[in-house]
Amino acid sequence: MSDAEKTLLADVPRQLFIGGEWGDATGGRTFAVADPSTGETLAEIADATPEDGIRALDAAVAAQDEWAATAPRTRSDILRRAFDLVQEHKEDLALLMTLEMGKPLAEARGEVGYGGEFLRWFSEEAVRIAGRYGLNPEGTGHMVVSQRPVGPSFFITPWNFPFAMATRKIAPALAAGCTVVIKPPALTPLTTLFFTKLLVEAGLPAGVVNVVPTSSSGRLSGPIIADPRLRKLSFTGSTEVGRKLIAQAAEGVLRVSMELGGNAPFVVFDDADLDKAVEGALLAKFRNIGQACTAANRFIVHESVADEFARRVTERVAAMKVGRGTEEGVQIGPLIDADAVAKADELVRDAADRGATVLTGGEAVEGTGTFYRPTVVSGVAPGSAILREEIFGPVLAIATFADEDEAVRLANDTEYGLVSYVFTQDLARGHRMIDRLATGMMGLNVGVVSNAAAPFGGIKQSGVGREGGLEGIHEFLSTKYTLIPAQ
């Protein structure tokens, strides 16, 4: 570990943040955060108990009315100052993410840019919350429609984008006037703790954001979700966990936002620009080491161009540099843990057993850290597990189709519906795909769709609700209608 890394880690808070104060967990318990590239412990941080979770909710509830009554411009200014502080500390945030999550430093810098934009975007939306006023159709009264904050909100964020997933939830909540309890991921909590320092420096009042890292998510989350004072739950993670959280939230009839699993199809038609398709494929698959819900999972390529597409992507993938994310030129860092490596390997072996060809990679990297070689598998047969399950690793799996109807059938043959990617030079076909592919988002001739100004979210078992865009702030607002009799 370099001196710069040690200095940065020494500057990261190790405690809970409740009611505007840093403090130890009840009983003083801690848990370790490890570097997946080496297995070495980066820090020991406070391990929140269920009692700590309720204390955090107490603080959020106590601050709610005053924060809701705070002028929108004041809320906006705090978010904008937070954005500016993120820009000042972008190298610190990027390095911290690389250390605890493993992604290459260049990608971590990209996440800082992306995540920061939610602060800027919602600082602007905070002052644009609007209603309407008008005479009712009968002429008997005036209708006033206004928007009010939903109330105290509980966030559970994932390990794969530790900065952007925190800002994507916190920024619209604060803009709308909601207070927050956030449980950062046990595998990558350091980025959220560091970002919390920046929020405090930006002038955030005590109790508005409360942070409770824990090694036992279920034990801490259950009592918070069951508390009748909580009004909103937002979760990003697996569909399996999301279903359980929705069931728990139903008891309190909570507003929920769920960004769950994905199984994104990447469809390449015979008329596609293959140069663009290959570039899009590399972004859609290998960004974040393949550990993204938006990662292309199934490459569905027209049979007339499948061999050439496979040849081109294999040439690029075979040349990818694997290593610790801080090393110069590294494109593929470690997977988050040994289980992730085992899952990727199991899916590749199952595909190969069913007749697929491993063109490059297809094995774990020996030595320290949890690395898996970037892989291309072609000729994947129907029924292969790799076509049904979210890979969450650097494995590009290619299947083929003969015509447009078959491409649509294969693309939609999944319980998930988060995002899809389509490459075609036929404008009419592109428009048909917008209508025919059952996903909440689509990239047409592009491999990355995420943007703070756009509504992010899926359909079917990929979740409910939207984050980002004009829609994002409304997840934290309730509509109130008032009738004033005509005079």
| DSSP classification of residue 467 | B
**Residue 433 exposure: Cα atoms within 13 Å on the Cβ side:** 28
Identified catalytic residue from 107, 259, 390, 404? 259
Contacts of 21 (CB under 8 A, 6+ apart): 206
The DSSP string of 305-332 is: THHHHHHHHHHHHHT--BS-TTSTT--B
The SS3 of residue 161 is coil
Yes or no: say if 265 and 300 are a contact pair by the CB < 8 Å rule. Answer: yes
- Record the tokens describing residue 12, joined without a space: 């990261």
How many CA atoms does the CB half-sphere of 216 hold within 13 Å? Answer: 14
363 is catalytic: no
- Our answer to whether residue 178 is catalytic in this structure is no
The active-site residue out of 111, 125, 293, 475 is 293
How does strand 232-236 pair with strand 153-156? parallel
Q: Please classify residue 456 by burial: count the beta carbons closer than 10 Å to its beta carbon, then call 0-12 exposed, 13-18 middle and 19+ buried.
A: buried
Q: How far apart are CA 354 and CA 399, in angstroms?
A: 12
What CA–CA distance (Å, rounded) separates 259 from 398? Answer: 26
CA distances to 36, 52, 354, 369 from 361, in Å: 20, 45, 18, 17
SS3 364: strand
Distance between CA 462 and CA 439 in Å, rounded? Answer: 9
Residue 2 structure tokens: 């370099």
Cα–Cα distance between 129 and 422 in angstroms, integer? Answer: 35
Residues noted as catalytic: 259, 293
